[in-house]
Every structure is written in C-alpha cells, then in structure tokens.
Amino acid sequence: MSEQNHPDSGFMTKLATFIVDKRTLFFLLYIFAIIFCVFSTGWVNVENDVTTYLPEDTETRQGITAMNENFTTFGSAQIMVSNVTYETADELSQQIADVDGVSMVAFDDSADHYTSASALYDISFDGLTTDESSVQALNDIKTLLDGYDFCVYSDVGFDENAQLQGEMTSILIVAAIIIVIVLTLTSRSYAEVPVLIITFAVAAVLNMGTNFLLGTISFISNSVAVVLQLALAIDYAIILCHRFTDERETRSARDACITALSKAIPEISASSLTTVSGLAALGFMEFGIGLDMALVLIKAILLSLLSVFTLMPGLLMLFSPLMDRTRHKKLLPNITILGKFAVKTRRIVPPLFAVLLVGAFYLSNRCPYAYSYNNLETAKMTERQVSYFKIQNTFGTSNMVALVVPGGNYEAEASILQELEACPEVKSTMGLASVEVMDGYHLTDSLTPRELSELVGMDYEVVQLLYSAYAAEHDQYGEILQGLDKYDVPLFDMLLFVKDQLELRNITLEGEDQQTMDDLFAQLDSAKKQLKSDRYSRMVVYLNLPEESDETFAFLQRIRDIMGKYYDGDYYVVGNSTSSRDLASSFVKDNLLISILSSLFVILVLLFTFQSAGLPILLIVCILGSIWINFSFPTLMNQPLYFLGYLIVQAIQMGANIDYAIVISSHYQELKATMPHKQAIVEALNASFPTIFTSGTIMAAAALLIGNMSAQPVIAILGTCLGRGTIISIVIVLTVLPSILVLSDSIINRTSFKMKGIEIPTRTASGTMYVSGHLRGHVSGMVDGEFTGVIRGDMNATVSTNTEFKQLQPSHSEGGDDNA
C-alpha cells in the first residue's frame, strides 16, 4: 500500500515510513554501534567511594582530598583466630610478623586483642591495598593459619567492582528467565518475545557502551542501570508491539508497522515523560550521586526509546510471518472481581486508605536511616562481610577517624593527642608524637647532640658535625656561634636530614652505626608516608563510639574544638563518622527537594495528559501513599535503611509506578464515555491488567533479585526497597485507585478542561469502518476489536482530531454517508 493510502500523511507517518522502509540501513547502523559499544564498555571509569560525590565544601570531601594527595595508606587486615589460648595466640603473632610483606602486627593481652579464647591481630603490610606484595602476604598468612578457626576482614585483594559485575551477570540471567515467562503470559504471539528481548538487549548494550561519555560513573549506576533500564523501559516495546498486532488485523505487515509506529511515537514519548521527570528530580540533589544516577538512567530511557522507534519496526517486519503463525489465546485471566469489588466498596476503601495514609506518613517519617553501610546486613553476604560481623560481635566496633593538620608544629600535635587520650570516648591514638623509637623517645621529641649520640651510639663529634650542617642548611647560624650543646632538633627532622646526607654521600657510616640508622630509617620511612607530608601531618584516633549517633557527632565537634586551640584553620577530621554526619546534613535537603520536585514534575505531565486538575492529584496521592507504606516497613521492622536507597527509590517509584495508575485512569476515562462509570471501571481494570502485570512483575522481580542476590549493601537495599515499593504500588492501583476513581467521578468531571485550539469533530457513518483512537458517543452494531478495530453498524460519535477513521465499506441502505 502506498503512502498516500494512509489517512494521515503527516510528519509522523512520513517518519514511520522512512524508518520501516530503511530498516536494513538501521540494522547495519545498530550492528556497527553494538560492535563499538562492546569495546567502549571497557573505557568506563567506575567510582567506588560514594563520599567523592559529596559537595566540595564539606569537611569529608576536603579532608579525603588532602589525605589522598599527601599521604600513603598501606594495606591492612584484621584477622581473628578463635578457640586458642593466649600463649598460642602470642606465638602466632610472632609467626605472622615474620611473613614477608608484613610490616607490623598489633597484638597484646588487652581486651582489644584477646578475649573469650579469641585473638584479634591488626596487621599492616609493606605495600598498598592493591599491591601484589600485600596480596601475597595475606595469602601466606592464610596458609600459616590453615587448621585454625580464623576469619579475615581486609580490603587487600578485594575488587568490589568485579564482585558487583559477577553478581549482576547472575541476576541478569535469572531476570531474563523471569522476563521470558512474563512476556509469554502477556503476549499475543510467541514470536513477540524474541523481538522484545532483542530490542531491550541492544538498548542495554548501547547504554553501557556510552557511559564513558559521562567520564566517571558511580558503582551504583554502573551496577543497577541495566536491570533498572529493563524494568523502566520494557513498556515502550510492549506498547509498539501491541499496536502492531492490532493494526495487523486489517493491514499488511508494512502498513501495519507504519501505522503502529506513527501512533506509538507520540504515545510512548508521552508515557516516558513521567519516568524521566521522576529521574530528573535526582539531578537536583546536593549529593552528587543523584545527578550521576539521573544522567545514566535518563540516557538509558532515551536509548531505549531510540531502539524501540528505529530498531524494533525492522524486527517486527522480520518476525511478522512467525508472529502470524504463533498466535495464541489470551493466557492471563480477567480481573472482573476486582472491578466489582471497587464499585461495591467505593465508600469504604477510600476512607480506610486515608487513615492508612496518615499512619504510613507518620511511620515513614520515623524511618531509621543509616549513612554508612558497613554495619548493614544483607540477605546475601560474602565471606568478607561475615568476618566483619564476627569480629564486631566478639571485639566490638572499631571507629577510626583521622585528623589532618598543617605540618611542622610537633608540640601542637603532641598536645592534641594528649588531650584526646584523656577523653573517655577515645580508645587510642597514633601520630608522629606517639611513635616510640627507642629508649622512651618519640619521633617528635627534640634531642641535643649528646642525647642523639647516646641514643644511636654514634661518635659525639660526628653528631656535632651533623647538627652544624643541619643548622647551616636551615640558616640557624646563631646556634653554631652560641655552641651546639643545648641546640635541640626534633628527632624526626634530624633523621630525615641524616638520611638525605647519607644518600648524597656527604657523610658515611660503618658497621653498627649504619645498621642502627637503617633500622631507624625503615621506621621513619613508614611513618613519613602515613603520617607526614610536606604540607600536612596526620593523626589517627580510635573512638569508643559507634560510627553514627548524636553522641558521636557531638564528639566530632569537640575534636575540632581541641584542634582549633592550636591551629587557625586548614585542618580536617575525616572518617566514616564525619562522612555520615555530612551525608545526614545533605539528606535533609535532598529528601525535601526530591519529594517536591518529583511530585511537581509528574503532576505537570499528568495535568496536560488528562486535561483535568483533580485526576492528577488523585493519582499522586495513591503513589505517595505507596511510597509512605513502603518506607514504613523499616520502622516497623526496626531495620536501618541506607539513606540513598530512600532517595533513589522515592524518585523511581514516583516516576515509574505512576504509569500503572495512568494506564487504569486512561482506560477508565475513555470507556466511561460510552458506558456507565461503574461498568467502565470493571472494563478498565480488565484492559489494564496485562500491561500492569507485565511491567510491574518485571520491575518487582528484577529489583527483588538485586535485593537478594547482591552482597553490596547499597545495591541490595536499593533492590529490596524498589521491589517492595513496586508490589505495593500494584496492589494500591488495582484495589484502591478504582474505588477512588468511581467515588470521585463527579470531581474529575468538574475539574476537567480543554486545551485551547482543540476541536472535536462529530462523525456520522454507517457500514464497515476502521477506527483507531478515542471515541465518545453511540455505536449500534457489532464491534470487532478491543479499542482499535472494525465497526459494523451505525455510528454517531465525537472523534478526537488524532483518531484515524476510514470507511472500509458503505452501508447498503445508506450508501455510506460520512459527514465530518
């Protein structure tokens, strides 16, 4: 059939014709794009630290930046050996210390290291967390402890991103099986399923392969984007597929595909607006990870739309013969009983729901949030996580914070450590001022030439020459003139000077002198990398407080007050507790912002979609109720909820789950034009159920798989909350919304309005007619088709301007009048 035979030869039809007729070209373009994306996926940089997304003016962000630029953090591990005597544990500590690559083992008879027949070793390595030497040393320790009851908690050799990718691969395999089953149940032809799967798979590959354009993305976005893209965008492919099968009843494959695509483009684009609106709200978060997820997921939605509009029509043409041969009966049952229930309970369910909303709002506002995920248990846990909780349950929590201060003022550092050690909230401290070298001297102690000579066993005259050289290099000639006997220099600075002089061969040492200095230099080098840079000094404080509590946050301020006595500024307190405090501060603003923006954006979309002021409010109330009920569960179960899960799920639930309510409302608005509203709601539920079942089941299943198959706490909590929220939303829109719509029918009608410039023509015709679109009026005769189909009989109805109408065969009695 040529293009001019189409009733609508406008832009959409011309665009659809081009896409369908040039499908081979599009196939080639997608093949090239997929090949490129397979390689470009490896170019994506993934950030595993969520604190890097904090605003730049927060103390945590500034402190972490200062530490990363100025200090080296060596690999470490905590190893707990159970069911051993103290004597055996002490012997093991010596053996562990002798392992190549181990720099230090902290173990003693205190309760911090030995209790209840269990020993805890705090081990430091010579290399970084990612160094092969550290990995080998840890493996050697495990071999040494073979036969003992032990567990290991360490970041050495741990690749969180690789773990997540492995988990997501397993999740996608299981999700694919569930999706095939769901699509089969809701399909009209078995051959639809491969078309939908191919369309989505291509869109997913395109999204993963283009993430490198965003620079660096978070591990959260990198992990869940594929599954969420599937859950959020599968509807678009289903809409086009069903449009095609409807048109195929009366048209050739080519014409059916062109017509279906020309109608589906505006319909699907409008449907995607609510999802994009909800995701866009994330981009306004103060916490930068919101923008990260918004960009990745909105890009995923847009690429899914592109695949549906330009790839899927060609696939439909390719699979059309097979789709015709594999048609099957409707597999999903009608849910008439729910529609009748909604009518009968229309004066009972809405008031009960209102009471439930009040309770859910109260409970959701008391949700116990967590801002650090270290202490969050998940359904699945790795051996590393299990070890962490075993150690925590035996020896308690170990809350470490680092103090970063301007370098050079050793007396101030010593005073700060002394004040902190006197606080009951502090377990222990470490800094240059607390590192003991030998004979009771610490690295920051100031020594005269005589004291240094006695300490290291060097000839006094040699030491005097060193002090003279040191004074000359630092332009302290007065000390030389006054005599060097009382000239004292911090041990740390003098050892660094001696090391430099030895490397420059300005001085030489032999025998025991050289050996003594080598031992000191090894200790000095380790301390310098970890605790001293040209600009800053770092001190480590271990607290007797949990990572998150009001008492902890108050003590952090006390630490800052102590530091403020000795420094005017440019000092930081860094640790899980400080990041939790900063995240808690940003959460208050972000939560309010997302709640307002996501609701506002969706309301605006619904306002223009339904051209009613009342209906959008009713739909928003239902979805908000679903969100509040969802986040009442953590309160009722007294389970801390990671704050990021709340923010992200709230936006997705608002933007995506609202589609379920839109589907029912749209069908209801159309049907009540030709039948009583009580009957219309019954038919609307039957018509909507396949779509809601497909989309909702896929999203809930995918999310719950993430929640139960991922050991990463942030990812797991995100999946659990989204899956639970989707199920709640489905239940609400199928059981509560219908009653609200029937009860509020008069309100919806009174608040409806028409956009200016839209005229609704009336058509009167008899015979056989093809109608696709919104119809309001009376039809007498046989109707063949659910919403798009063939009418045989008489029609006198108003027809919207975008409705396709074509006289197929005139009435024998009237000659087929068609008065527009």
pLDDT at 3: 40
pLDDT at 2: 41
Determine phi and psi for 328, rounding to 5 degrees: -145, 170
pLDDT at 658: 80
pLDDT at 84: 92
DSSP sequence for 88-108: HHHHHHHHHHTSTTEEEEE--
Query: Token match 């103090």: residue?
Result: 403
**CB environment 54-63: b (16+ within 10 A), e (fewer):** beeebbbbbb
266 Cβ partners below 8 Å, 6+ apart?
12, 802
Contacts 24+ apart (CB under 8 A), 193-198: 194/319, 195/237, 195/241, 195/312, 195/315, 195/316, 195/319, 195/323, 196/234, 196/237, 196/238, 196/241, 198/311, 198/315
pLDDT at 779: 59
pLDDT at 276: 85
Three-class SS of 540-569 = EEEECCCCCCHHHHHHHHHHHHHHHCCCCC
Determine phi and psi for 767, rounding to 5 degrees: 110, -140
Closest CA to 543 of 532, 563, 558: 558
CA of 451: how far to CAs of 167, 436, 448, 501, 624, in Å? 60, 15, 5, 20, 73
pLDDT at 35: 95
Task: Identify the DSSP state of 610.
Answer: H
| Residues across the chain | 820
pLDDT at 786: 46
pLDDT at 815: 40
pLDDT at 154: 92
Q: How far apart are CA 541 and CA 47, in angstroms?
A: 27
Exposed / middle / buried, residue 673 (Cβ in 10 Å: 0-12, 13-18, 19+): middle
Ranges of residues in the chain whose predicted pLDDT is under 70: 1-9, 509-513, 516, 523, 753-820
CA of 512: how far to CAs of 416, 441, 462, in Å? 36, 20, 15
> Contact at 8 Å (CB) between 29 and 278?
no
> Contact at 8 Å (CB) between 6 and 258?
yes
For residue 797, which amino acid is it? A
With 0.75 as the threshold, say if the pTM is over it: yes
Closest CA to 686 of 660, 662, 709, 667: 667
Question: Any bridge partners for residue 767, and if so which?
Answer: 793, 810
Determine phi and psi for 607, rounding to 5 degrees: -60, -45
